[in-house]
Structure 1
Amino acid sequence: MRLEEVFDIVRQKRLAVVSTVDNSVAPEAALVGFALTERNEIVFDTLGSSRKAVNIAHRPAAALVIGWDNDITVQIEGDARRPQGDDLAYAKAAYFREWPDGRARENWPDIAYIVVKPRWMRYANYAGAPVIKEFTL
C-alpha cells in the first residue's frame, strides 16, 4: 500500500471523526463532513464557537478517523489551522466541490473552516489477515 493509494481511499469518503483536546487536555470528538484538497489536506466547516474550533485555536492539532466500513480505516494526525486569505479561498473551493450545500452556511456569522495537514497516517484493513501501514509525512 502506497501513500497515494491511502489518499485515494480518503478521497472516496465523506465523513470523519475529528478529535481535539481542550486546555485541560480532555479529549473531544465530533463527526464532520470533510473534503480532501489537491494538497492532500483535510478541510471541514464548523461553528467558530464549537469545541473543536476553540480547541484548535489553543492547540493547533487534530486527529481524524476516516472510513470504518468494509473493515478499512485511515487514521490521520496533523497540524490544524483556520486558513486566511488565499489559503481560505482554496480550502473553501475544495470543500464546496465535495459539499455544494456548504455554500448555504458560508455566510453564517460564526462559520469557520478548519484545515488539517497530515503529519502521520495509518492505513488498516482488517478484512482477512490484517494489513497495516504507517506513514510519516
Structure 2
Amino acid sequence: MSQDFLDFLKKREPKLCVLATSSLDNQPASAVMGYAVLDDLTVICSTDKSSRKWSNLMQNPKVALVFGWGFDELNIQYHGMATLVESGDEFKKCEETYFNFHPESLEFKGIPETGYIKIKPIWTRMSDYSSDPPLIQEESFN
C-alpha cells in the first residue's frame, strides 16, 4: 500500500489535506493545509508559528490528517507524530521540499513567522469506494 499511497499524494491536485490537532485539555482544532510528502511518507506542512495548531503541537504532537474529498477518489486517513521545525538545516530542507510541491506559493517563502510541521506516519488507511467491492487497506508503522 505504501507505494500507492505515495503515488496518490504526489499526483493529486490540489495538494491539500485536513490537519487535526488537540491541546492537552482536549480542545480540537482542524485546518485545511497545503502539504508536501517525502518518499518515506513523511508529510510536511507550513504554518504560522502563532497559530493554534502550532501551539497545540507544542503540547501534544499527535495528529490526524485526511487526504481526499470525495467518494470518487482515494481517501487516506493518516495518524502521525509531528515535529516542529523552526530553524537550521532541517528548516531549509522542509522549506525547499514544501515549495517544490507548491511553486504557486513562493511569495510566502522566507516569512519569519513561518514554521514547518514534519509528520511521521504511525497508521494509515486508504479507502477507495469507487471500486466494487470497496478497497480498504490499513498499514501500521513502527
Tell whether the structures are fold-level matches, with TM greater than 0.5.
Answer: yes
SS of 2:41's partner is coil
Name the % identity: 29
Q: Which runs of 5+ in 1 are unaligned?
A: none
SS of 1:40's partner is coil
Distance 2:139 2:50 in 1: 33
The aligned residue for residue 117 of structure 1 is 120
Distance 1:104 1:81 in 2: 25
* Aligned pairs (5 A) from 1:1-137: 2-13=1-12, 14-69=15-70, 70-83=72-85, 84-127=87-130, 128-137=132-141
Q: Which runs of 5+ in 2 are unaligned?
A: none
- TM-superposed CA distance for 1:44, in Å, is 1.2
Distance 1:21 1:49 in 2: 15
What TM-score do you get using the length of structure 2 for normalisation? 0.87
Distance 2:40 2:106 in 1: 21
What TM-score do you get using the length of structure 1 for normalisation? 0.90
Moved over 4 A (4+): none
The one-character-per-residue Cα deviations of 1:64-97 (angstroms, maximum 9, x if unpaired) are 0001232420011111011242222221111010
SS of 2:8's partner is helix
Letter in 1 for 2:64: A
Distance 1:6 1:34 in 2: 14
CA-atom RMSD, angstroms?
1.5
Distance 1:15 1:22 in 2: 23
How many residues are matched?
136
- TM-superposed CA distance for 1:116, in Å, is 0.7
